Amino acid sequence: MPRGDFKVQRKPSGNDTAERLLSVFLTPNAQTPERPVPVDVDVERGARHDGFIQHESELIVVIEAKRHDQQGWQQAEFPGKMHIEAPGTVRFVNWVDLTDQWMRLTEDPALVGHAEREIIWDFLALASANPQISPTSRLARCLRLELPIAFRLQTILSQAVGREADARSGWGPGGEFTGLDGTASRLALSILDGERAPQVLLSVWAGIQGPEADRLYSDPERLREIAAKTSVPGDGRWTWHVWAPLELKSQRDTNKVEITDAVDDLEWRFLAAAGLKDQLNRMVPTDQLAKWLKPFVKVRLATQGEVDAALVDIHNYGHAKWKAVAPAHVYCEWPLEVATELDDDDRPERNSFVGEVRKAAGQLTELVGVDLGDRE
């Protein structure tokens, strides 16, 4: 196929001819009709188009891009004064679909190089900063696509806290702040789409590293307050949750083995872990681990059967040393449908979900004792 000739804002002349025509309507939010829409070449109408691609005389592609809440696609149906032997159909392309594909391109080094990846991300950042053209300016526009939703959550967290959040690509994609002070170093707003309906989580993982665990388990009153937040309503439309597993982690946290995820009587579990805080986050040779874990079994943070099963998994991993950790995952949770409903305005100062995340972030960080640092 010959190389396409692409021009922006070109006004076709009466000499533009082609055997076929494909008219592309590029839009943030217009719905695709159920049936194909034929192109009607209106010889009476001149037009200037957002994009115009011609492969010699074989194909003309006319692109009509609409901004913000413009719904009409008539210009794509009547592309203007051109001589086409067999006009084709209108093809509908949603901005968020393109955004999702561009994001996925950046994840595959075999498809795009460093320069191309930087160009794509610069464009996505530019689009995200302009709510009139951004396909991810509201959750409702993201069409349940994971990467656009994650991009939107990163923006919401930035607007709520008043400084730029980083992209979160690990468990639960979205946005996050790292390097915080206190009992936790990380605050994240992310999407969790597992066995149940998708949820949006604003989370901290307290007590993961040694100094964080020392602060967390040296404050019994704070532990009681955290435990009391299990599955209770928040001040807005979120629900509080606390998850407190006992885990074994290998050197450099390469592998993790969960001993238990029991959450019955969280206050008791937290206070029991506090009594063993000097034994948390200490690397122990693998052949001494069974003896090291006996105090955890004695206070019923784990059963002997759970420990025995964990030791089998640990043996299979083959690491020389392991440590016991007792993190607390404390989070505020919104069903994605509720978050989408609240995310109802392009302006951060009037956006209900930005307001809820701002309030929840303040209460969450105060609860666990995390310093967000300077905020605007």
Give pLDDT tens digits for 263-285. 578 999 999 999 999 999 999 99
Do 176 and 67 belong to one domain?
no
**What letter does residue 172 receive in the DSSP assignment?**
S
The answer to whether residue 104 sits within a structural domain is: no
Q: Is the pLDDT of residue 14 over 60?
A: no
pLDDT digits (tens, 9 = 90+) for 59-77: 788 888 876 556 677 778 8
Q: Distance between CA atoms of 60 and 25, rounded to whole angstroms?
A: 14
Do 194 and 78 belong to one domain?
no
Instruction: Please answer whether residues 345 and 351 qualify as being in contact, where contact means their C-beta atoms are separated by less than 8 angstroms.
Output: yes
**What letter does residue 31 receive in the DSSP assignment?**
P
Do 88 and 170 belong to one domain?
no
Check residue 8 and give its pLDDT: 65
Q: Distance between CA atoms of 227 and 204, rounded to whole angstroms?
A: 14
Q: Is the pLDDT of residue 26 over 70?
A: yes
The answer to whether residue 126 sits within a structural domain is: no
Please give the residue range of the domain that contains residue 336: 163-371
For residue 113, the tally of other CB atoms under 10 A from its CB is 10
The answer to whether residue 312 sits within a structural domain is: yes
Check residue 88 and give its pLDDT: 86
Do 87 and 175 belong to one domain?
no
The answer to whether residue 304 sits within a structural domain is: yes
Do 167 and 83 belong to one domain?
no
The answer to whether residue 125 sits within a structural domain is: no
Polymer length of the chain: 376
In the listed set 78, 93, 108, which residue is the last one of a domain according to the structure? Answer: 93
Do 233 and 345 belong to one domain?
yes
- What string of DSSP letters covers 325-336? E--EEEEEEEEH
Do 68 and 203 belong to one domain?
no
Q: Distance between CA atoms of 324 and 248, rounded to whole angstroms?
A: 5
Greater confidence, 125 or 321? 321
- Report the chain's mean pLDDT, rounded to a whole number: 86
Q: Is the pLDDT of residue 11 over 90?
A: no
Do 231 and 329 belong to one domain?
yes
Q: Distance between CA atoms of 244 and 56, rounded to whole angstroms?
A: 65
Do 291 and 170 belong to one domain?
yes
Q: Is the pLDDT of residue 42 over 90?
A: no
pTM, whole model, 2 decimals?
0.75
Domain count, the chain: 2
Do 53 and 169 belong to one domain?
no
The answer to whether residue 98 sits within a structural domain is: no
pLDDT over 90, % of the chain: 47
Q: Is the pLDDT of residue 131 over 90?
A: no
- At 78, is the pLDDT very low, low, confident or very high (cuts 50, 70, 90)? confident
Check residue 10 and give its pLDDT: 62
Q: Distance between CA atoms of 50 and 47, rounded to whole angstroms?
A: 10
Do 186 and 38 belong to one domain?
no
The answer to whether residue 185 sits within a structural domain is: yes
- What string of DSSP letters covers 110-164? TTS-HHHHHHHHHHHHHHHH-TTT-TTSSGGGGTT-HHHHHHHHHHHHHHHHTSP
Q: Is the pLDDT of residue 330 over 90?
A: yes
Do 339 and 202 belong to one domain?
yes
In the listed set 70, 93, 116, which residue is the last one of a domain according to the structure? Answer: 93
R_g of the chain, CA atoms, integer Å: 27
Greater confidence, 196 or 360? 360
The answer to whether residue 151 sits within a structural domain is: no
